[in-house]
Amino acid sequence: LPPPPPGPLSFSGTKLVDDPAHPWRPLRNGDLRGPCPGLNTLASHGYLPRDGVASPAQFITAVQEGFNMDNPTARVATYLTHLVDGNLVTDLLSIGAKTRRTGPDPPPPAIVGGMNNHGTFEGDASLSRGDAFDGDNHNFNQTLWDQLVDYSNQYGGGFYNLTVAGELRWQRTQQSIATNPEFDFRGLRHFTVVGQASFPAGLFTDGRKTGADKHQLDLVSGLSFFKHMRFPAGFFRASEPTGGVGSDVIFGAHPVLPGRNVGGVNNYVVDTSLGGFGDFCKFYTEFVNITIKGLYPNPTGVLRRNLNLNLGFVYDALAPRLGANCPQVFPYGTN
Ligand code: HEM
Ligand code: MG
């Protein structure tokens, strides 16, 4: 039985996390890494299993301990990802490529593709990774990093911060509209891009920074996380439990409605049918009824039981953002 989600940290202040118990180590043959620089770093320091395969409870524990990500954000990110990319029977999820290490697959159309799988949790217009359409959606991309540096110099005085995030998010969106005929910015992706643009400011910044320095990420540290999957030497985690700090600022800088390119590049058509940032209830409801039901049309036995458990974990984690008029949906019944 998948265990219930771990609770918040008992000590939730800043502390040294680049500590002797968690040394950085280079990749061994077969170790998996993927599109998330936060999880890559945690695996390379042993907060997650170094091979890159872990259970949802391990992800929640690791992101809280290693970065001080707040408990609701950790639960939302983890269970949303596990439901689309993980093996619900074995309770294992890869931070990178699909792997036999997550166990035997349930029947198609289930994918169990790990976090590299495009179009489930991973999506277009990432800051440091290319679009799947261009051939690589998970490795560090130097050209995109150079652009992040340019934007940090232009809008952040040499630091990545929320102002930079707002401008760079807009730029990456425009680039994908102009170059990716399959650009898809609907539903889940419309919501995750905003949080993921804020994480470098809120979670990669050393927790000892205060006042005007807080949430200003220097680019040497940034490259350490994004490319080398490594804490800057002597790194301290965030000073309080932190999630998508400043998401409203980032979204508000250049609000873009959910949508996708239809029939080719430069034809972005608004499509709010799957919800998005600012319409969490629709996003949640369609995620369950369309996305999950699409992957798992007729589950039985342990698979069905674990789907229901994980769907419950997602609803509980999202509940504070959903409001009072967004009931849980039960595509597989309630027992
Ligand atoms: C992006 C998963 C926690 C920082 C991503 C992506 C995935 C992912 C699948 C790729 C999306 C894409 O760009 O297409 C998760 C899961 C987490 C988690 C399941 C579990 C709680 C964290 C933490 C941090 C973080 C704790 C920071 C400390 C980022 C950043 C990106 C990202 C900065 C954007 C990368 C880019 O746009 O190039 N995450 N993540 N994530 N994640 Fe995580
Ligand atoms: Mg991506």
State in Å: Cα 130 to ligand 2 middle: 6
Q: What is the pLDDT of residue 323?
A: 86
**38, two tokens:** 């936060």
The complex scores an ipTM of 0.99
State in Å: Cα 213 to ligand 1 middle: 23
What residues pack around ion ligand 2 (CB closer than 5 A)?
Answer: 122, 126, 129, 137
**Angle at CA 124, nearest 5°, toward 83 and 175?**
170
Q: What is the pLDDT of residue 334?
A: 87
State in Å: Cα 77 to ligand 1 middle: 8
- Return the ligand number nearest the Cα of 58: 1
- The pLDDT averaged over each successive group of 10 residues in the chain (335 residues) is 97 98 98 99 99 99 99 98 98 98 98 98 98 98 99 98 98 98 98 98 98 97 98 98 97 98 98 94 97 98 98 97 94 89
Contact present, 197 and 168 (Cβ < 8 Å) = yes
Per-residue burial over 233-244, b = 16 or more CB atoms within 10 Å of its CB, e = otherwise: eebbbbbebbbb
CA distance 133 to 145: 19
What residue owns the CA closest to ligand 1's atom 2? 36
Q: What is the pLDDT of residue 278?
A: 86
Q: Which atom of ligand 1 is nearest to the CA of 60?
A: 21
**292, two tokens:** 């999950």
Q: What is the pLDDT of residue 282?
A: 96
- Return the ligand number nearest the Cα of 201: 1
Residue 266: left (phi > 0), alpha (psi -120 to 50), or beta?
left
- Return the ligand number nearest the Cα of 74: 1
**Angle at CA 134, nearest 5°, toward 35 and 226?**
25
What residue owns the CA closest to ligand 1's atom 4? 38
Ligand 1 pocket mutation, candidates 196, 203, 313, criterion most atoms within 8 A of CB: 196
What residue owns the CA closest to ligand 1's atom 5? 36
Ligand 1 neighbours (beta carbon < 6 A): 35-39, 59, 63, 67, 69, 74, 77-78, 81, 115, 121-123, 126-129, 196, 199-200, 203
Q: What is the pLDDT of residue 313?
A: 98
CA distance 271 to 281: 16
- Return the ligand number nearest the Cα of 117: 1
Name the pTM for this structure: 0.98
Contact present, 102 and 94 (Cβ < 8 Å) = yes
Q: Which atom of ligand 1 is nearest to the CA of 203?
A: 28
State in Å: Cα 306 to ligand 2 middle: 27
Q: What is the pLDDT of residue 230?
A: 99
CA 18 distance to own-chain centroid: 22
